[in-house]
Homo-oligomer: A and B are copies of this chain.
Amino acid sequence: MKLEPHIRLAHGNGGRYMRELIDGLFAARLGEQGLDTTVDAAMVDVPQGVRMMMTTDGFTVDPLEFPGGNIGSLAIHGTVNDLAVGGAFPLYLTLNAFIEEGTETALLERIVDALAAAATEAGVKVVAGDTKVLARGECGGVYLATTGLGVVPASHKLGQQYVQPGDKLIVTGGVGDHGTAVLLAREEYGLRGDLKSDSASVLPITEMLMKRPGLRFMRDPTRGGLATVALDLARESELSINMEENAIPLSEPVQAVCELLGYDPLYLACEGRVVAVIAADEADDAVQELRLSGVAPDAAVIGTIGEKKGAVTLTTSLGGQRLIDELEDDPLPRIC
């Protein structure tokens, strides 16, 4: 069945066109994932004796395609990663698509192709979905929402409540790559570069870290970046965090673009990194293992947890102390 070249309002009507869109575009790519389009709700098999975790995330990235991925792969990685850093193993995902009338069918096909490939790679099944078609001007192309269900090993003891003064903060790769790659893809500034988004499943990273008894906390620094994760953690744990600017991995292109345009990479989104807190006596080992195994070649210890309530500071490369503040305005809308 050959679909028309553009999505029409009738593709959202519940009737024949919608069935053609669902069967011809979505189910054709997600059937192996277990998507059954003949039911409104999908049965899922869950092993006995486990705890479960749910998460959801919306995606509005602009442009829809960027170096290193598109909104489809991003929607899988984002939700898989929220479960992964929660200490869960993702099993099932659901997918919502809000599609603007006039969207090219070929673009939508590339998005769902990337989504299916990312789901297969992360070992999750897309078991249920829904599409809505919006009139021209009522949507910015395509918005997606994915919801994930995962299982949590019985040994799960992760969270800000386990973080203690003296623990170390690590990050598993360069910060700001995703935000900068999307920024460049907009071509608003006449800048071009080879920079790719870091969008990826962090499951290999979290699986490696979770074998360590000293692991206290994990989070993925998406919207708001590393700085926002640190601020949230400091507030919720009622502890302080000091980070070393020199220790924070930052690629040259990200640094160059940020300096040119006045962005602070600490606030820019990553989509394939983990920020973790780990006991001081295990931190160097953990980072070595991540680096040498190739799972996260640029992982680094970047800071220390302190006792002062709620503050996040940065020791700059010149040796000064900078207080890290919460984001006020939005530096980059529609980054994820």
Using a CB–CB distance below 8 Å, which chain A residues touch chain B?
9-10, 12-19, 38-46, 48-49, 51-60, 82-83, 85-86, 88, 92, 94-98, 127-135, 137-140, 143, 145, 147-150, 152, 159-160, 219-220, 222-225, 228, 232, 236, 267, 326-331, 333-334
Contact = CB atoms under 8 A, between A and B. Distances in A.
Contact of A56 (B12, B85, B129): B129
A42 B60 contact: no
Given A38-B160, A94-B147, 15 more contacts: A10-B329, A14-B223, A15-B326, A17-B327, A18-B224, A38-B232, A45-B52, A46-B52, A48-B48, A56-B95, A58-B96, A58-B97, A58-B130, A60-B134, A139-B139
Majority-rule SS of A interface residues: mixed
A163 to B, nearest CB: 13
Contacts of A236: 38
Given A39-B86, A54-B149, A330-B12, A140 B143 contact: no
The 4 closest A-B pairs by CB, nearest first: A15-B327, A14-B224, A14-B223, A41-B55
Contact of A327 (B13, B52, B130): B13
Contacts of A219: 40
A59 B195 CA distance: 36
A25 to B, nearest CB: 16
Contacts of A45: 51-52
Contact of A140 (B40, B138, B152): B138
A235 to B, nearest CB: 9
Given A15-B326, A147-B94, A331-B13, A52 B43 contact: yes
Number of copies of this protein chain within its complex: 2
A37 to B, nearest CB: 10
A167 to B, nearest CB: 18
Contacts of A98: 58, 60, 98, 143
B132 A86 contact: no
Among A9, A83, A130, which residue has the most Cβ atoms of chain B within 10 A?
A130
Contacts of A147: 54, 56, 94, 96, 128, 145, 147
25 contacts: A10-B330, A12-B330, A13-B224, A16-B326, A18-B224, A39-B86, A40-B82, A40-B85, A41-B54, A41-B82, A41-B150, A42-B53, A55-B128, A56-B96, A60-B132, A60-B134, A132-B143, A133-B330, A133-B333, A134-B334, A135-B333, A138-B139, A139-B139, A145-B145, A147-B147
